[in-house]
Amino acid sequence: MKVITRRKILTISTVLIVIFLLATTLYSYYFNNSVSVPTNINEKQTIPWAINKMNVRELWNEGLTGKGIKVAIMDSGVDASHPDLIDNMNSGINIIDPTTPPTDYTGHGTFIAGIIGASNNHFGLVGVAPDVELYPVKVLDELGEGDILHIEKGIDWCIENGIQIINMSFAINNNKPQLHEAINRALSKGIIIISSASNSYGETAGYPASYNQVFSVNAVDRNLDISELASLGKIDFSAPGVDILSTHLHGGYGVISGNSYAAPQITGFIALLLQDPAKFGVTDLTHDQIKNVLSNYSTDLGIKGYDSLFGAGFVNFN
Residues designated catalytic: 75, 108, 260
**At 116, which helix (H) or strand (E)?**
helix 108-117
CA dist 271 and 263 (Å) reads: 13
Judged against a pLDDT cut of 70, whether residue 188 lies above it is answered with yes
CA dist 250 and 106 (Å) reads: 11
CA dist 99 and 138 (Å) reads: 12
Average pLDDT in the chain? 88
Task: Give the CA count within 13 Å in the CB-facing half-sphere of 82.
Answer: 35
CA-wise closest residue to 8 among 108, 93, 77: 108
Edge-to-edge order in the sheet of strand 192-196: 93-94, 133-138, 70-75, 165-168, 192-196, 215-220, 237-240, 314-315, 298-299
The single-letter code of the amino acid at 45 is Q
Dihedral of the alpha carbons of 65, 70, 73, 77, in degrees to the nearest 10: 110
Each residue's pLDDT tens digit, 148-167: 999 999 999 999 999 999 99
**At 58, which helix (H) or strand (E)?**
helix 56-61
CA dist 242 and 176 (Å) reads: 29
Give the model's pLDDT for residue 34.
64
**236: Cα separation from own chain's centroid:** 14
Rg (CA), the chain: 17
Q: Which CATH number characterizes residue 65's domain?
A: 3.40.50.200
Q: Range of 225's domain?
A: 4-315
Judged against a pLDDT cut of 80, whether residue 15 lies above it is answered with no
Each residue's pLDDT tens digit, 210-267: 999 999 999 999 999 999 998 999 999 999 999 999 999 999 999 999 999 999 999 9
Judged against a pLDDT cut of 70, whether residue 21 lies above it is answered with no
Each residue's pLDDT tens digit, 59-104: 999 999 999 999 999 999 999 999 999 999 999 999 999 999 999 9
Judged against a pLDDT cut of 50, whether residue 4 lies above it is answered with no
Q: Which residues contact 276 (CB under 8 A, 6 or more apart)?
A: 63, 64
CA end-to-end distance (rounded Å), the chain: 38
Judged against a pLDDT cut of 60, whether residue 32 lies above it is answered with no
* Number of compact structural domains in the chain: 1
CA dist 194 and 128 (Å) reads: 15
